[in-house]
Structure 1
Amino acid sequence: MTEERVSGHGTGADRSDLAGQYALGLLDGDERVVFERRLKESAELRDEVARWQEHFTALGMNVYQSDLPLSVFDHLKRELWSENRLPWRRRIRIWEYALGGIAAALLAYFVYNSDMGSRPVTDVLQANIQIAQNEADLTFVFNPVTALLHFEYDDGQELEGSRFAVWVVKGDAAPVSFGVIPVQRHGALRLNGAQSRSLRAGVMLAVSQAVETPEFLGMAPLMKRSDF
């Protein structure tokens, strides 16, 4: 039954539900093993997981750690993970839309900052680049499972141009171009295999406006979330 349920076959809605549960870390044990085996074989399933991870990442990127009352934790745990809970997808929609931004922020906080019975989807890396020229912040989050480099641009003063070139800097070696991203609030850059393998903790990410020459606006190291 486990193999049949999480093999990635079935309707599009079934695949989407499983991908969403995987992105939240709700699949465990044999279910997770079977799903990850199918994930390696199916580009369509990887794209579905990537869409969910981008969705939850966007919820969590602006959630700052704080000490919440124990009663809030208990209430969330009871409502979202009790034996009599609603189907997980309805729970997500209720908290996001019925209760609005507060519940979405709390949900994202606990997904990223607690171990409420679920383990992390993967060990993501993050780099926070400060662009002094216009007092802006550009945050990158790299997910090695999906090979997506998510970004969030918190613009300060208006910056001329409509795109950033992304560079990887390793020691004294020449900077390597990783592509171009638009100057927008949220987005993601899909990396190839070689690019994904080259990103690890400690590697410097940098951005410039000129694609041909790396005159950097700012740079920062990729770090594990736990190191922030």
Structure 2
Amino acid sequence: MTLAEDTGPERGGDDLLAAEYVIGVLAADERQIASRRIDAETDFARLVDGWEVNFSPLAAAYPEIEPPVSVKTAVDRRLFASAASVATPAESRDGLWSSLAFWRGLAAAAVAALAIYIAVPILNPPVEQPRSRLVASLTAEGSDVKYLAVYDAAHHEVGLSHVSGERAAGKDFELWMIEGKNPPVSMGVIPAGATAHIVVSPAAQQKLAQGAVLAVSLEPSGGSPTGQPTGPVVAAGDLKSI
């Protein structure tokens, strides 16, 4: 197969299904089936566990972000300060829970808190980001080479996880981006190993963000000498939003 021929991906195999389950790209019904198999099939559950370990280096690049505490502080202040201020000594003697003024004050504070909750994202809208992560299953009919690719727009890199298939002696796998009918653009030789990261050039970032096709070809050691694919396509797939 060449890049001029059909490069549509062929899905199949429990290993690939487990990997797609871990990164969250399965359709809802497929995910339910996979979840049931995890509970019922020990071998499949082991595959899922293995992929969670394989993908952990990719996830480690993204630190946890805690939500701001300012909203909760404002809500607490409006709720409890307002409720306390409406209670009178007589009401305190009768019991706070039987005070009509208390409940009116609490309702008013709740409305104010809701207004704050709604207003905060309007007044301080989050910075709108392009689709920050895209994923592709790279496979090809008649080839045992399979990769899972994750494009991270925030860090401008493609993370590759090697699922199966080995390169021949004296050969390398090279990653290509295909946009429409334009000539393939090399993204570099794929380093050997279970996982790899390839930095995306500024010129290719916008094209990838729009959902291009990624393809892997078998090339001489060191990559294509011509700047275009010279060997067969061993895996390919469309980038899709996670």
Query: One fold, TM greater than 0.5?
Result: no
Structure ID, larger Rg: 2
Higher relative contact order (CA 8 A, sep 6+): 2
Q: TM-score, normalised by structure 1?
A: 0.45
